[in-house]
Chains A and B, each alone.
Chain A
Amino acid sequence: MPSIGAAADAIAFAPTAQILEDAIASLTRDGERGGGAVDAAVRREALARYAELPVPGTKPGRTWRHDYTKLRFDDLTWSSRRGTLPTAPVRPADVVQSADVMLSLSKHDQPALATENAGGLVHLGATYLAAPQGAAADPRAVVVPLADALREHGAVLAGVHGAIVDWRNDKFAALATAFQNCGAFVYVPDGVVLDAPIQLLFSNVEPQTEAVFPQIVVVLGAGARATVLERHVGEGEPLICGTVEAQVGTGAQLDYVVVQQAGESARLFMHRGARCGRDATVRWHLADLGGTLARSVIDARLDGEGSHGETAAFFFNTGAQHVDLTTTTDHAVGNTTSEVVVRTAATDRGQGRYFGNILIRPKAHGSDASLRDDALLLSKRAHIDSVPALEIAANDVRAFHGATVGSLDEEALFYAQSRGIARADAMRMIALAFFEPAIARFPSEALRDEVRTALDQKLDDATEIDG
């Protein structure tokens, strides 16, 4: 492995005060060689909040295989380091999908980012890997590790980092704040329109069992436009617990894409929130495909008149996967619009929950919100709960909500079969098509094709597909 600190730097992780003090000491010692970007006092407060806050998402009446109260952190290690890639990851390729690429950097002299023309940051576990050249994002934008941003862009960070995701009221965001050990800062100044996406790649290769606590801050100035792509890949078994906070300036447009293909034993707890200024647009795109347990919270807060929020998200739980997804669209002021399209599916013993919240505040007159979620169950043992909640405190608003839970449409299957398509192929076709309304909103054909391929692969791996 190239110039990454020795394993001796790692601390056996546990969410305790003593371990936090060890972590703080390690960050202080490492200084600029580490990834710390949270003040020690804030870390201590966050850990206290973590301890106080109740375990979310546990409701009586149903036994969930993945119960947050039974979370164990044994075997995880915590560290905060940085290294250097021998060569820049410039070649767009599917290579990044294979875990051994990152593991064997010295053998593969050209590890790659999967998205054409994308520049950005690479993390291996919690270790930031600097690229010597070539993989830089558009020079008009700032894309740096969060720790560097603290030193160089403190004024822009202030009021965003730690201010959009309310870690004081989210147990896992509090944990992420206490133990933050890596992260990224993306700043697109006023009027800058980026053509290529900025890619934030998080790779965890076997046999890593790291505790990775990323915090990502994205700030778009007035009129700026950008696509940020957050990827999780690799066959390691990490705990990834982090936050994403995005401030979208007046008239700016942010597409934030998450393609989560972490290893099958990975656990992920990510809380992502955006705050929109006047006439700003945020579009969240989430493909939660990997991991054994994933908890994703997505907030879109429409703070400026004329702002617009969109969320397109899907998951497909196979094996014993569990995904919890919560989306909250907060119409804080009037004349704001939002659309949420969620597709959830499960087979084998997969389980999932979707909580869809729309909040229209007392003064948000003239708001227009829609939320559409559909669930597809492909085996008898699979289970998905869908819990919509609309809280409307203003007059003269439009709020639409529609939801379905079902299995594959037998009549559609017969129809396809009657055209010569074998039943198994017809099932695949119809099951994949189920996700299209969410996929269609992803911002490029390359990404759409990529997630289609990933879903296709998941169908291959699933043991039960029945109508």
Chain B
Amino acid sequence: MSTRGLVARDLRVAVQGNEILKGIDLTVEPGRVHALMGPNGSGKSTLAFTMAGHPGYEVLSGSVTLDGEELLELPPDKRAKAGLFLSFQYPAAIPGVSVANFLRTARMAVRPDDLTPAKFRQLVFEKLDTLDMDPAFLGRYVNDGFSGGEKKRLEMLQMAILAPKYAILDETDSGLDVDALQAVGNAATALRASEDGKGMGYLVITHYPRILRHLPADVVHVMIDGRIVKTGGPELAEEIEREGYDRIRDEVAGSVA
């Protein structure tokens, strides 16, 4: 049995005693873009945080594996080392830590000793260029006083520099910001074209289908009320764009009844 992929099996998760995820089965394949769509409150961000290891989420049952390695027993940093990356919807600020220092510390942690300082510097400038970012970014404190678009760009810069095996892009609300969407789309497209990133699998979490114009999905999953209720091709996203979630909700209700 192949274990390749970022795989959730029967994942049930509670937050402060309330069960939010009620048995998720999902496989994100290497080299493919999976969209996870669903109405507000359906549990999409909970899935993202649970996979990344946020301490506020209690796993009731199930597993999450990355190319066969169980993630749920690992602290968040070990999950990153295993090759997982979460692009936050609302990344935290770390005043006093410069972007340059943070990037270097993260890269060293994820891939110890693989780059000399000079090579690392070269990599950073290369990625800055690809993302059309000002090198002055490097001297600023991480996310401190950043605009929404700047935060998103920094997330993408980190993704490009850490080159994970699987990236979860939590874009739940950023559908409202065209600039940010474009930054995400461009970054992922560039990374997919590079040697480092061509095998990467993506889980793009979104409420609105708009981001998928910038980063087209191969597979679309729909989550409602803590369950994946439907999986299909790109046409599923188009259907949601036309008709919203009501029809799928009705279908699901019908099949249960």
Q: Is the CB of A436 within 8 A of B75?
A: no
Inter-chain CA distance A417–B94, complex, in Å, is 12
> Whole-angstrom distance between the alpha carbons of A155 and B76 in the complex?
67
Write the nearest CB–CB distance from B64 to chain A, whole angstroms.
14
Q: How far is the CA of A378 from the CA of B255 in the complex (A)?
A: 54
Q: Within the complex, which residue of A414, A423, A435 is in contact with B92, where a contact is CB–CB below 8 Å?
A: A414
- Select one of A417, A419, A422, A434 contacting B162, CB under 8 A: A419
Q: How near does chain A come to B106, taking the closest CB pair, in angstroms?
A: 4
The closest CB in chain B to the CB of A419 belongs to B106
User: Does any Cβ of A come within 8 Å of B95's Cβ?
Assistant: yes
What residues of A have a CB within 8 angstroms of the CB of B50 in the complex? none
Known contacts A409-B92, A412-B93; A420 and B109 CB within 8 A of each other? yes
In the complex, what's the smallest C-beta–C-beta distance from B224 to chain A, in angstroms? 27
* Across-interface contacts of A410 in B (CB, < 8 A): 55
| Contact between B97 and A420, CB atoms less than 8 A apart | no
**Interface assignment of B91: CB less than 8 Å from any CB of chain A:** yes
Whether a CB of chain A sits under 8 angstroms from the CB of B105 is yes
Instruction: List chain B residues, Cβ under 8 A from A436.
Output: 95-96, 141
Residues of the B chain whose Cβ atoms lie less than 8 Å from the Cβ of A416: 94, 102, 106
Chain B CB within 8 A of A406 CB: no
Q: Which of A86-94, A126-134, A424-432 contacts B (4 or more CB under 8 A)?
A: A424-432
> Counting CB contacts under 8 A, is A56 at the interface?
no
Instruction: Count residues on chain B whose CB falls below 8 Å from chain A CBs.
Output: 28
Complex alpha-carbon distance, A410 and B56, angstroms:
10
- Would you call A421 and B88 a contact (CB within 8 A)? no
A436 to B93, CA, bound (A): 14
**Is A415's CB within 8 Å of the partner chain B?**
yes
Contact A433 B95 (CB under 8 A): yes
Give B111's nearest chain A residue, CB to CB.
A420
Question: Cβ of B63 < 8 Å from any Cβ of A?
Answer: no
| Least Cβ–Cβ distance between A222 and chain B, in angstroms | 37
With an 8 A cutoff between CB atoms, is A418 at the interface?
yes
- Whether a CB of chain A sits under 8 angstroms from the CB of B54 is yes
Pick the residue among A419, A425, A433 that contacts B96 (CB under 8 A): A433
Check: A54 CB closer than 8 A to any chain B CB.
no
Which A positions have Cβ atoms within 8 angstroms of B? 409-412, 414-423, 425-426, 429-430, 432-437
A–B Cβ pairs within 8 angstroms, 15 of them: A410-B55, A412-B92, A414-B54, A414-B92, A417-B75, A417-B76, A418-B76, A418-B79, A419-B105, A419-B109, A419-B162, A420-B162, A423-B75, A429-B94, A432-B96
* Extra 12 A-B pairs, beta carbons < 8 Å, given A419-B102, A421-B105: A415-B88, A416-B106, A418-B52, A418-B79, A418-B80, A420-B81, A423-B76, A426-B77, A429-B97, A429-B105, A433-B94, A436-B141
